[in-house]
Amino acid sequence: MTTDYDIRFAVDPASAAVMTTSELRENFLVDDLFAADRVVWTYTHYDRMAVGSAVPAAGSLPLEAIKPTGTADFLDRRELIVVNIGGVGTITADGASFDLANRDMLYAGMGTKALSFASADVANPARFYLLSAPAHARHETRLIRIGEAKRLDLGSQETSNERSIFQFIHAEGAKTCQLVVGMTTFAPGSVWNTMPAHVHDRRMEAYLYFDLPADAFVVHLMGEPDETRHIVVRNEQAVISPPWSIHSGVGTAGYTFIWAMAGDNVDYTDVEKVEMGDLR
């Protein structure tokens, strides 16, 4: 096997509120993604979302079944979204090949039997970020380039949160069962994401922070709005946001992040906004 996985159980808000820094990191931070020539998964019990990575350096890598899904093939009862944050790569899904440039995304539908990852240039391998959730129907496998994503501009320079949200999945675009995924980029000097904050108990969320300099980090805010905690997150690390938690962050330098959700609906706008004065 060229696949590794770990499992994260779901944590309730009262337990999270009394965790030490190490316990918060063990439960919510995914700090060991992106290993050369491996597929690496963190299988969560939040909506059974799995977050992972594939870095095909020396050769191609297959998407292999893992025990937690209990199926013969990984996508027998799941859907998959892959976002490339590295060099040009190719994904082959049941014989069809898709070339992904940096920041392009592939949706692979339930029932895909054989899927593999390859890089165009071993000196600059593709770095595929993977997101998978249980599915109830098959939607067609398709490539969505960053230029085809729906763009929303939010925030302002004055509040250090001027940013653009690129929705790969949105109401007028590709259909999914559960997965909603996008990427957020910042105007120079803006470092705050998702502030004002929100929660959405209908959907869990995962963030992958990247494009961060080696000595920089994001202070990721989590917790119930009146009981917040923070996790220091470095380049190419992911953080799991339980449905009851805010998910906001501030960088010591510029960064980009990929957000992904799974749960009861795919309505990006179905959120409870948290008033600035209510955060504790």
Ligand X SMILES: O=C(O)C(=O)C[C@H](O)C(=O)CO
The reply to whether 205 sits in an annotated binding site is yes
Cross-strand bridge partners of residue 150:
167
Distances (CA, A) of 229 to 175, 193, 236, 238, 245: 35, 16, 21, 16, 10
To the nearest whole angstrom, how small is the minimum distance from the Cβ of residue 179 to ligand X?
A: 13
**Which one of Zn ion, ligand X, none is in contact with 184 (Cβ closer than 5 to 8 A by kind)?**
ligand X
- The answer to whether 205 and 266 are in contact (CB under 8 A) is no
x/- site string to ligand X, residues 194 to 233, per CB under 6 A?
Answer: x----------x----------------------------
Task: Name which position in 259, 262, 266, 279 contacts ligand X (CB under 6 A).
Answer: 259
Whichever of 178 and 184 has its CB closer to ligand X, that residue is 184
Q: Is 242 exposed, middle or buried (0-12, 13-18, 19+ CB in 10 A)?
A: buried
| 247 makes contact with ligand X (CB under 6 A) | yes
Task: Name which position in 61, 165, 204, 222 contacts ligand X (CB under 6 A).
Answer: 165
Whichever of 47 and 205 has its CB closer to ligand X, that residue is 205
| Spatial separation of the C-alpha atoms in residues 234 and 232, rounded to whole Å | 7
Name which of residues 170 to 209 contact Zn ion (CB under 5 A): 205
| 163 makes contact with ligand X (CB under 6 A) | yes
Whichever of 34 and 209 has its CB closer to Zn ion, that residue is 209
Task: Name which position in 193, 237, 245, 256 contacts ligand X (CB under 6 A).
Answer: 193
What percent of the chain is helix, strand and coil (3-state, nearest 5)?
10, 45, 50
DSSP assignment string, 93-156: ETTEEEEE-TT-EEEE-TT---EEEEES-TTS---EEEEEEE-SS----EEE-GGGSEEEEE--
Cross-strand bridge partners of residue 163:
154, 186
Whichever of 82 and 165 has its CB closer to Zn ion, that residue is 165
Whichever of 10 and 271 has its CB closer to ligand X, that residue is 271
The reply to whether 247 sits in an annotated binding site is yes
DSSP conformation class of 218: E
* Contact residues: ligand X, CB under 6 A: 163, 165, 182, 184, 193-194, 205, 247, 259, 261, 271
